[in-house]
Amino acid sequence: MLNIAITAGGTSEQIDGVRRLTNVSTGLLGWHCLEAVMEQLQAAGRHDFRVTYILTDTAYRGVLSDRQHPFVDFLPVSDAESVYHAVDELTSRVPVDFFIHSMAISDFTIAYAAATDELAREICRLPFSEEEGVTAVREVLEHPSGRYTLSEKIPSGHNLVLGLKRTKKVIPLIKRNNPATFLVGFKLLRDVTEEELIRIANRLAEENGCDMVFANQLGELGEENHSGMLIRSGEVIARPTGKRAIAAAIVEEMMKQGGIQ
């Protein structure tokens, strides 16, 4: 039995009842990876597999054929916290053989929203001393007492400060829970040289145990012109163009490395 997991789409952090902090991602590349997995495994005559497809609200969701549908479980998620729990639960319960982690997960979630004036007044009430100043101000900037209740709709009458705090990283969970998983990571950067992109992709791979990384740049993300590098052990092993071709290359290489094809 082969267990495959794919994550796709961009997460959405709740600011209040009507506002969200979102990450831009169509989820199309993840969907094409799902299609490529189905096509390549069914072409190889395999029926002993299951795909868990973890997707956000805004992720593209295409239509599977009747032949493909029974092999896929859809697992909807919303914010970074919900992805963390879904991936932790899945990888603790199921021995995932292949994990394609294409989701754009927010690095930040909302710590608070406060009126700028209120925050300034709170800072000015601090008992300042040269040494303690920075620590005291940082403490207020991270946890002000004057803040809006985030379950309500924040009033729009005043300028606003949003405090953001880092979310827990999801990708290290995957190998921690299951060292045998073949893990495909993704790195998106902007305006860097190819050398820099490869260097940063390698660091992602080393820190999180990625067996392969697809590295690409903002501005090269269209359906047809999406391009990037598939990197394994520090080497570029493919330079596919177009989302379908990228997905096919990722899945083919992954299956080959994993001894499936």
Interacting residue ranges for its own copies, rule: CB under 8 A = 12, 15, 17-25, 58, 104, 106-108, 111, 116-117, 119-121, 123-124, 128, 133-135, 137-138, 141-142, 152-153, 156, 158-166, 188-191, 218
Residues 6+ apart with CB under 8 A from 226: 29, 216, 220, 241, 242, 243, 246
Across the beta sheet with 228-232, the strand order is 72-77, 49-56, 2-8, 98-101, 182-189, 212-217, 228-232, 235-238
CB of 148 to its own copies, least distance (A): 12
Closest to 121 in 3D by CA, of 156, 85, 145, 139: 145
72 vs 111 by CB, closer to its own copies: 111
Task: Extract the tokens encoding 32.
Answer: 């094409």
CB of 1 to its own copies, least distance (A): 36
Task: Extract the tokens encoding 184.
Answer: 């495909």
CB of 14 to its own copies, least distance (A): 9
Closest to 142 in 3D by CA, of 122, 171, 169, 168: 122
46 vs 165 by CB, closer to its own copies: 165
1 vs 124 by CB, closer to its own copies: 124
CB of 112 to its own copies, least distance (A): 10
CB of 199 to its own copies, least distance (A): 16
Specify the length of the chain in residues: 261
48 vs 191 by CB, closer to its own copies: 191
Q: What b/e sequence results for 29-40 when a residue is b if at least 16 CB atoms lie within 10 Å of its CB, and e otherwise? A: bbbbbbbbbbeb
164 vs 245 by CB, closer to its own copies: 164
51 vs 104 by CB, closer to its own copies: 104
CB of 10 to its own copies, least distance (A): 8
